[in-house]
Amino acid sequence: MGLETGTFIDSLNSSNPGAGDPVNEGDDHIRLIKSTVKATFPSLSGAVTSTHTELNLLDGVTANTTELNYVDITALGTAEASKALVVDANKDITGIRNLTVSGTITIGSDTAATLQAVYPVGSIYINATNSSNPATLLGFGTWSAFAAGRVMVGFDSTDSDFDASEETGGSKNKTLSLSELPAHTHTIAASTSDTDAGGISQGNTTSTTNVNTGSTGSTSAFSLLQPYITVYMWKRTA
Cα–Cα dist 208/133, whole Å: 72
Cα–Cα dist 163/155, whole Å: 6
pLDDT tens digits, 64-118: 989 989 989 999 989 999 999 999 999 889 998 888 888 877 767 777 788 888 8
pLDDT tens digits, 173-207: 888 888 888 888 777 766 665 555 555 555 555 55
pTM exceeds cut of 0.85: no
pLDDT tens digits, 28-64: 888 999 999 999 999 999 999 999 999 999 899 999 9
* H or E stretch covering 52: helix 52-56
Cα–Cα dist 187/183, whole Å: 14
Domain boundaries, the chain: 9-49, 106-182+222-238
Q: In what order do the strands lie in the sheet with 143-145?
A: 124-127, 232-236, 143-145
